[in-house]
Amino acid sequence: MTASEIKQALAKVIDPELRLPITDLDMVDVVDNQVTIKLTVVGCPAADRIEADVRKALEDFDATVTMSVMTQAERDALKEKLRDGRPPRQNPFDKDTLTRIYLVGSGKGGVGKSSVTANLAVALAEKGFRVGLVDADIFGFSIPGQLGITAKPTQVDEMILPPVAFGVKVISIGMFLDDNKPVAWRGPMLHRAVQQFLTDVYWGDLDFLLVDLPPGTGDVAISLGQLLPTAKSIVVTTPQVAAAEVAERSGSVGLQTGQSVFGVIENMAWLVQPDGSKFELFGAGGGSAVAARLSALSNTAVPVLGQVPISIALREGSDAGAPVVITNPNDPAAAAIIQVAEKISSDKIGLAGKKLRVSL
């Protein structure tokens, strides 16, 4: 048994927060048959899982495993490696990003925007993509509950490691609050919070970043429009005419801050009856109306990406922290969301004018 063989076995152990092999993160020391696993911080919430995975990987080896914690110098070296040459607290999603970014907004609350966003993120992760999700609804955060996240983010000095649920890296102000306390902040603090979600959180290389915007057209939507110059907007509405008129404003603010509108999702489109017929509880045509108005405003065809029917399974999954696209993918609402995720995954990023990071 050599140190090389032990490290080769441990290369299969993935840090659940950083999503990288622990050997690549310099978390492993091997001296003879003594294996030391160095966690990033004291009280690391992933400690038990890492230790269990390490012991399983080494069950055929005559090795002694000891859990330890990195020194400050080792943490500094790890942060430098994770930043991959970027300076600290830099926005990784600037104009040169290769991440496809979508701001999911609505004109008003209660249209199911967060449920749709959470399930879209999970559906994309299920397709094998690297996905991040920012809960930017500071006052009405709900994404942690939608995905069953109860753990707080691990902080490695100034770097925040986002919890991972269903393969999605997630950050929300709700993860930093106790006892469901309300947030009462003015504009500058809101801007600082969403900026920190981008610059202080270790996202790694993402294929997609979804942002759950607060309803309306306030400070957060404007700040994110400025911080995420390559983002595209997705507008969620219901079929109701009144809701559609308000939803139009959500897409309009994106146009004002430079985002193109990728499309419209009509949620609660109908209720499927026992005989298979569709009962249009909230009317009809709202999604098409929003798409038509945004097409006229942008001088570009804005499609209706999908119509998501009213679903008990979707509601129950959101309440239980179990996304319907995982627990019941054949449910009509889940199937509609999965189809929208397929359209998002087919959207190509433009590379013209971007600085590509190429290693020779």
Q: What is the pLDDT of residues 147-157, one digit of tens each?
A: 999 888 888 88
What pLDDT shows up at residue 134? Answer: 96
Q: Which two tokens stand for residue 238?
A: 């219901």
Residue with token string 């441990």: 10
CATH of range 3-83; options 2.10.240.10, 1.20.970.10, 1.10.760.10, 3.30.300.130: 3.30.300.130
Give bridge partners of residue 172 from the DSSP assignment.
135
Q: What's the pLDDT band for 183 if we cut at 50, 70, 90?
A: low
Place 118 in a pLDDT band, splitting at 50, 70 and 90. Answer: very high
Of 144-158, 216-230, 299-313, least confident by mean pLDDT is 216-230
Strand, coil or helix: what is 48? helix
State residue 138's pLDDT score: 78
Say if residue 185's pLDDT is above 70: no
Distance from C-alpha of 75 to C-alpha of 130, rounded to nearest angstrom: 24
- CA torsion 133-138-143-144 (nearest 10°) is 100
pLDDT for residue 218: 64
CB contact set of 299 (below 8 Å; sequence gap of 6+): none
How high is the pLDDT of residue 360? 42
Q: Are strands 208-212 and 131-135 parallel, antiparallel or unpaired?
A: parallel
C-alpha separations of 170 from 143, 150, 161, 255, 296 in Å: 8, 12, 9, 26, 35
**333 with 265: CB under 8 angstroms?**
no
pLDDT band at 359 (very low <50, low <70, confident <90, very high): very low
- What DSSP letter does each residue of 281-340 carry, written as one string? TT-S-HHHHHHHHHHHHHTS---EEEEEPP-HHHHHHHHHT--HHHH-TTSHHHHHHHHH
Choice among 187-191, 262-266, 291-295 with the minimum mean pLDDT: 187-191
Going from N- to C-terminal start, the domains of the chain cover 3-83, 100-345
Predicted pLDDT at 109: 74
Q: Determine the pLDDT at residue 189.
A: 72
**What predicted TM-score, i.e. pTM, was given to this entire model?**
0.88
Highest mean pLDDT among 15-19, 27-31, 120-124: 120-124
Are 99 and 231 a contacting pair, CB within 8 Å? Answer: no
Superfamily of domain 100-345: P-loop containing nucleotide triphosphate hydrolases (3.40.50.300)
Give me the residue label for tokens 């308000």. Answer: 246
- At residue 156, the 3 state secondary structure works out as strand
Q: Are 295 and 252 in contact (CB under 8 A)?
A: no
Q: For residue 33, is pLDDT > 90?
A: no
Q: How confident is the model at residue 143 (pLDDT cuts 50, 70, 90)?
A: very high
The alpha-helical segments, DSSP class H, found in 33-155 are 47-57, 72-83, 113-126, 143-146
Average pLDDT, the chain: 88
Q: Could you report the per-residue pLDDT of 44-69, keeping only the tens digit for each?
A: 888 999 999 999 999 988 889 999 99
Q: What is the arithmetic mean of pLDDT over 199-222?
A: 86
Domains 3-83 and 100-345 share a fold: no
Q: What pLDDT, on the 0 to 100 scale, is given for residue 354?
A: 57
pLDDT given at position 35? 94
For residue range 93-115, what is the model confidence (pLDDT) as tens digits? 998 899 999 999 887 778 889 99
